[in-house]
Amino acid sequence: MIETVLLNNHTRMPRLGIGMNHMENEKAVITAINSAVTAGYRMIDTASSYRNEEYIGQAIAKCQIPRRDLFIISKVWNTAQRLGDTAGAFERSLERLQLNYVDLYMIHWPVPGCYGATWDELAKLSTSRAVLAIGVSNFEIRHLEALRKASGIVPAVNQIECHPLNYNKELIEYCQSNGIEVQAYAPLAGGACLDEDIICVVATKYARTPAQIALRWAIQKGLSVIPGSSNTDHIRSNADIFSFEIEEEDMAILDTMSRGYRSAGIPDDLKDIPF
Ligand SMILES: NC(=O)c1ccc[n+]([C@@H]2O[C@H](COP(=O)([O-])OP(=O)(O)OC[C@H]3O[C@@H](n4cnc5c(N)ncnc54)[C@H](OP(=O)(O)O)[C@@H]3O)[C@@H](O)[C@H]2O)c1
């Protein structure tokens, strides 16, 4: 059974979802979503920049799961932020997804000079029925503090890269003490976690896969996770992370692995500017 968490706007979010980045091909999208819903997933993470919202919309329409039982996430990309076109970008996402609301809409990256105004746009959207919760992604403490000072609305979620090779304890604790749910993206470090000796040793001890150990580590840190996969067996086994516990001493060993490794790069348009 996939656990859920109550967000600060009183909506419930599953703690496991399917990540849809790197899936631009219709067949991969349909396989991933069908396999995920069959395995019990109800949360789907996408973004306009993943260029697959249309296929995801088609898969959702056919998947036989009532809309109210699904939790759909999308994000506004940097270009729309710079153009002041967040509301337009949101409408286009809804249209591609064939939906009349999303459960969570996020600022994909804190574009300097823009993200404050984008947040105000998201706040406006959240007063309509078209968005149930609003959140951010790739925000550091300084960005969250800037939002806190400028806006009365606290993001429901901050989606950040997090896995044993990149554990930003300070940011996670800041979010958790301010009512912001942390969602770990690339929770397998894009696959780089899976060959790490320490993770493999822990996996053997618990008779689990390395992926299950990395995902369970994040769950025990109080995070939600959105592993990406278009492989039915991987999708199924990645969901089996709520029926075992990693002991504290092994969690401490996994904590020693963090070395700031990033599998998802910084977008080109933010590379040469401090943000
Ligand atoms: N907000 C942001 O800026 C941002 C940035 C990056 C990603 N994301 C989100 O996070 C999601 C996940 O990130 P990601 O896909 O880059 O990285 P990831 O989830 O860490 O890793 C995905 C890779 O791991 C493999 N994999 C998955 N489960 C496996 C298993 N049980 N055993 C072996 N290999 C396994 C997948 O291959 P197979 O297909 O073969 O399983 C794929 O190559 C994205 O899809 C996206 O939704 C958000």
Regions in the chain scoring below 50 on pLDDT = none
Collapsing DSSP to helix, strand or coil, 128 comes out as coil
Instruction: Identify the residues whose C-beta falls under 6 Å from ligand 1.
Output: 19-22, 45, 108, 137-138, 159, 185-191, 194, 209, 211, 226-231, 234, 237-238, 263-264
How far apart CA 181 and CA 179 sit, in angstroms, is 6
Query: Cα–Cα distance between 254 and 71 in angstroms, integer?
Result: 30
Domains identified in the chain and CATH numbers: 11-192+224-230 (3.20.20.100)
CA 91 to chain centroid, in Å, comes to 21
The reported pLDDT for the residue numbered 194 is: 97
The confidence score (pLDDT) of residue 272 equals 79
Cα of first residue to Cα of last residue in the chain, in angstroms, is 39
Q: What is the residue with the minimal CA distance to atom 31 of ligand 1? A: 234
pLDDT tens by residue, 46-83: 999 999 999 999 999 999 999 999 999 999 999 999 99
pLDDT at 144: 98
pLDDT number for residue 275: 72
Known catalytic residues?
50
- pTM (two decimals): 0.98
